[in-house]
Amino acid sequence: MKNLNVLLYVLMWIFFQCTSSDPYRDQVKPESNRFEIELLAEDLNQPMSMDILNDGRVLIVEKDGAVKVFDPNSNQVNTIAEIPVNKRFSQPYTTSGNKYDADDGMHGVLLDPNFDVNKFIYLYYSPESEDPKSLLVRYKWEGDSLDLDSKNILLEWSTQRERCCHWGGGMVFDQDGNLLLAIGDNSGFNLKTEFGDSRRTSGNSNDLRGSILRIKPELDGTYTIPDGNLFSEKNLNSRPEIYIMGVRNPWRLSTDSKTGWLYWGEVGESTDEFNSAQEAGNFGWPFFIGNNEKNAKIETEYDTTHITNNSPYNTGLTELPSPPVPALVWYDRNPSEIFPIPGSGSLSAVGGPFYRKADFASAIRPFPAYYDGKWFVTDYVRGWVMVIEVDEKGNFKAIEEFMPEGTFTGINDMDFAPNGDLYILQYGHDSYESYAKDAKLFRIKYNDGNRKPIAKATSDKRSGSVPMEVTLLTKGTIDYDNNINQYKWIITSENGEYTTFNEQQPVVSINIPGVYQAILTVTDSEGATDSDTLEIITGNDPPKVTFEFFEANSSFYFPGDQLQYSVHISDQEDEEIDYSRMNVWADYLPEGFNLKYFIETIEKSSTYLPAKSILGEQLIEQNKCNQCHYLDQKAVGPSFKEIENRYQEVENVYELLSEKIIGGTRGTWGQAEMPAHPSITLNEANAIIEFILNSTEKNESRGSLPISGSISVPDEANAGYMIFKASYKDSGFEEIPSIETVEIVGLRDSRVFVSDVDTTRNMRLYVPHFKQPNHLIPNDTMSFIGLRNIDLSGINKVSLDLINLSQVNDSGWGITIRTNSVNGEIIGSTMIGDMVEVDEGFYQIQIQPISGKRDLYIEFNNNSFKKDLVQFEIRSLKFIK
């Protein structure tokens, strides 16, 4: 009997070990590379909110009223309805500064918990009408479209359209089938005006705005009030639908399926919040912010135990529910001293889903148990995704980053799909911009098992004369699980002969001239493989091409200068350089385009094309325009040559063709129809037109520049880079093909924004506004910004673009400029109090003349530094000759 008990114990131990999760692994944060970010959809028009169906389709609503569906099977986005919504304010004022643009429109979407049976979806929007109002409406989705005749208005309330802002928009069903709806305070920023006084909404028990509502939708199209809301149906001067009052602009509701507690992000006036509610309550706005700190703009006396709403616009109770509930997490423009919130400056707390792994028991890819009981949140401006952990009582426990900061741009909704993936809807930072480039839908998938290795084949040389010895390298190969157990190289010649090497980095001797393919295959211990191919040319050394600038700076260009340059070419096999095989080109990178995305295109482009045309060629390929248009042959649509001939002399050609490219056209060239390309910006459309009008005939005036010469820099050069390109294609050698070497040099504008510096230390990032370059703030006794390998030749002064400098004149700040290292030679120094403004916001420091390239460090020193010291911001620096 004793042995039987032991056997049973052993069997039970084995059973529980096999069926329970690894407690240690559940506590360890998973590696970030286990999460794969996948772009699902672009060309969205101000997407506002989403919900995800059980079959994987994603329902998306857009601000202008479109209801769309992303289908993962076809990877297509289709429109199932267009709802007429309000798009304009009455007064010319918005947060974006554009006249009349409204925060009004379509705000939220939610699927019924029993959608697979009843096909109900709920929309929150402000209809197109003379009467300013908002609606909560239930529709039925049948087949491929929304049945607009099924419209059932559950709730309707009055709004104002005179001044912005705040409509909220989050919706969620709780475990009891109650629908919760977040509504913003519909107020401006001046409490002393009617439309700015949020005491009339958020602080008003008789107004639905500035609240989170909780109702129970019924099948007959009505709703009932669940028990436990803030006000009962018997209360006078109050709305029984209100569950939470005293909120400003609540976004993205979520509930914890285990506790039933409610969570949301809230955009504040100066302090943003992440909030949670275990029961109905008053969260204090506009009387309180953050941790129940009083709003300084309210001048009347009040305390947390007795809140009196004496606004002349209040239609509800005078005595409000007290005490108010403080925020779970709060932060403002300054670095948070309580919570590890990244960044400073502008902010916009969004919220997100609360994760319970038990909700995804049958999911194919659930997130790890490490995130069980944690709340995923984001900030629309700062771009990070964080997770907040609470304890058993709902109190704040911890917060940490989920994805690297800056991975996303302008998130305004996040949710988990039934299959376990996290979906992210991105509005982007272009407020009120139709089809903005960053308006996208992403999916984040978690890989709990083996990760496929990523092969990268490289070598210490790609070409050369024979005999040639080349070392094959696997530098850049990635294996996150560190379980690659086989490296295999196959070297194949032009006649099909091959040699195999079963080592990671073999040294290969090639004695016969030719073109060879080196194929690297890596295999891990679980059989996952990946391959990469490298081309090696033997028997011909590539030519060498270099630029030299005379009495000029090789890092920066300066307005009004004459730039003297010379190109040097050498080649081992060509006894004499054939200058007819050389091309030299220079132009300005058009404003708004990034050099690093331009280099590869310019390497392959014709030198007679201007930079804007080359960008247009790149955009044509990216947008697949060449599927319907060939250069000089008719395809589905006319050739670019035909378009050029028709429009070359037409007045306002750029405006006319841009409208056709972006908006689409039909009938211009017979029956051919060109679809709209709304994601293409006006600047990009102009670049495409530039290519069309310049590409079909070689413009001799844009031919190769001479091997040496000078270029005039305009007095006002507003481009980011001035680009030089030189290329030489050698004559080949015997049977070996020619090799072309291309050298590209980019000279920067002499003003450099600190968002583009190469290195920093002890600098705090400050986001003035998401449409402006970031600033930096010194954040210790010694802080610095640095630029690597810049030419200081001819530069005598460095001018710093400083904000709030007058406030720190006597605070002990000094500036030191060094070369090569933070302990390197001092070439300039000053005390901030001694600096004189020489241009608007710019203060100069004299530096010692230095020739050649150096690393440059600009240090900010203050031995009396304290965290509460008055601060100044650094926006940019300018190099002065």
pLDDT by residue (tens digit) across 31-84? Answer: 888 998 999 999 899 999 999 999 999 999 999 999 999 999 999 999 999 999
Residue-wise DSSP of 114-154: THHHH-EEEEEE-BSSSS-EEEEEEEEEETTEEEEEEEEEE
Closest residue by Cα to residue 844 from 852, 834, 853: 834
Report the pLDDT value the prediction gives residue 408, as an integer from 0 to 100: 87
pLDDT tens sequence across 202-242:
999 999 999 999 999 999 999 999 999 999 988 889 999 99
Backbone angles phi, psi at 643, to 5 degrees: -65, -40
Confidence of residue 591 (pLDDT cuts 50, 70, 90): low
pLDDT tens sequence across 283-317:
999 999 999 999 888 877 778 888 999 899 999 99
Query: Is the separation of the CB atoms in 83 and 91 below 8 Å?
Result: no
**What whole-number distance in Å separates Cα of residue 344 and Cα of residue 272?**
12
Q: Is the pLDDT of residue 1 over 50?
A: no
**What whole-number distance in Å separates Cα of residue 395 and Cα of residue 868?**
28
Whether the bond between 778 and the residue before it is cis, its omega within 30 degrees of 0, is: no
Closest residue by Cα to residue 386 from 274, 308, 505: 274
Backbone angles phi, psi at 701, to 5 degrees: -70, -15
Four-residue CA torsion sign, 745, 749, 752, 756: negative
What's the one-letter identity of residue 540? Answer: N
Report the pLDDT value the prediction gives residue 627, as an integer from 0 to 100: 66
Q: Which helix (H) or strand (E) holds 374?
A: strand 374-378
Question: Residues of the chain with pLDDT > 90: what percent?
Answer: 53
Report the pLDDT value the prediction gives residue 699, as an integer from 0 to 100: 53
**What whole-number distance in Å separates Cα of residue 384 and Cα of residue 378?**
6
Residue-wise DSSP of 491-503: EE-TTS-EEEE-S
Query: Is the separation of the CB atoms in 522 and 455 below 8 Å?
Result: yes
In terms of phi and psi (left: phi > 0; alpha: psi -120 to 50; beta: otherwise), the region of 352 is left
Confidence of residue 23 (pLDDT cuts 50, 70, 90): low
Query: Is the separation of the CB atoms in 384 and 403 below 8 Å?
Result: yes
- Average pLDDT for the chain: 87
Q: At CB < 8 A and 24+ separation, what contacts does 431-434 make?
A: 431/94, 431/95, 431/96, 431/98, 431/101, 431/771, 432/46, 432/94, 432/96, 432/98, 432/101, 433/46, 434/45, 434/46, 434/64, 434/678
**What whole-number distance in Å separates Cα of residue 605 and Cα of residue 609?**
8
Q: Is the pLDDT of residue 719 over 70?
A: no
**What whole-number distance in Å separates Cα of residue 797 and Cα of residue 312?**
59
Between 23 and 597, name the one with better pLDDT.
Answer: 597
Confidence of residue 431 (pLDDT cuts 50, 70, 90): confident
Q: Which neighbouring-strand residues pair with 77?
A: 70
Label residue 364 exposed, middle or buried (CB < 10 Å: 0-12, 13-18, 19+). Answer: exposed
Q: Is the pLDDT of residue 762 over 80?
A: yes
Q: Is the pLDDT of residue 102 over 60?
A: yes
* Residue at token pair 């600009």: 858
Mean pLDDT of the region 694-708: 68
* Residue at token pair 């045309």: 613
Mean pLDDT of the region 769-783: 80
Buried b (16+ CB within 10 A) or exposed e, 577-591: beeebbbbbbbbbbe
Between 605 and 850, name the one with better pLDDT.
Answer: 850
Sorted by sequence, the CB contacts under 8 Å of residue 28 that are 6+ apart come out as 370
Report the pLDDT value the prediction gives residue 830, as an integer from 0 to 100: 94
Report the pLDDT value the prediction gives residue 833, as an integer from 0 to 100: 85
- 110-114, 416-420, 499-503, 512-516: which range is least confident on average? 512-516
Query: Is the separation of the CB atoms in 122 and 179 below 8 Å?
Result: yes
Q: Is the pLDDT of residue 750 over 80?
A: yes
**What whole-number distance in Å separates Cα of residue 427 and Cα of residue 48?**
7
Report the pLDDT value the prediction gives residue 683, as an integer from 0 to 100: 77
| pTM over the 0.85 mark | no
Four-residue CA torsion sign, 209, 213, 215, 221: positive
Closest residue by Cα to residue 169 from 117, 133, 134, 129: 134
Report the pLDDT value the prediction gives residue 640, as an integer from 0 to 100: 83
Report the pLDDT value the prediction gives residue 717, as an integer from 0 to 100: 55
pLDDT tens sequence across 629-638:
877 777 667 8
Mean pLDDT of the region 547-563: 87
Q: Which neighbouring-strand residues pair with 522?
A: 487, 530
Q: Which neighbouring-strand residues pair with 751?
A: 878
Residue-wise DSSP of 706-766: PSEEEEEPPSS---SEEEEEEEEE---BTTBPP-EEEEEEEEEESEEEGGG-SEEESEEEE
Report the pLDDT value the prediction gives residue 664, as an integer from 0 to 100: 73
Four-residue CA torsion sign, 712, 713, 715, 717: positive
Q: Is the pLDDT of residue 13 over 50?
A: no
**What whole-number distance in Å separates Cα of residue 380 and Cα of residue 368?**
25
Q: Which helix (H) or strand (E) holds 659?
A: helix 653-663
What's the one-letter identity of residue 305? Answer: T
Q: Domains (ranges, CATH) in the chain? A: 458-538 (2.60.40.10), 561-748 (1.10.760.10), 751-880 (2.60.120.260)
**What whole-number distance in Å separates Cα of residue 754 and Cα of residue 757?**
5
Confidence of residue 573 (pLDDT cuts 50, 70, 90): confident
Query: Is the separation of the CB atoms in 314 and 300 below 8 Å?
Result: no
Closest residue by Cα to residue 170 from 244, 86, 228: 244
Report the pLDDT value the prediction gives residue 9, as an integer from 0 to 100: 40
Report the pLDDT value the prediction gives residue 14, as an integer from 0 to 100: 37
Confidence of residue 797 (pLDDT cuts 50, 70, 90): very high
Buried b (16+ CB within 10 A) or exposed e, 711-722: bebeeebebbbb
Q: Which neighbouring-strand residues pair with 140?
A: 120, 147
Q: Is the pLDDT of residue 599 over 90?
A: no
Mean pLDDT of the region 464-484: 92
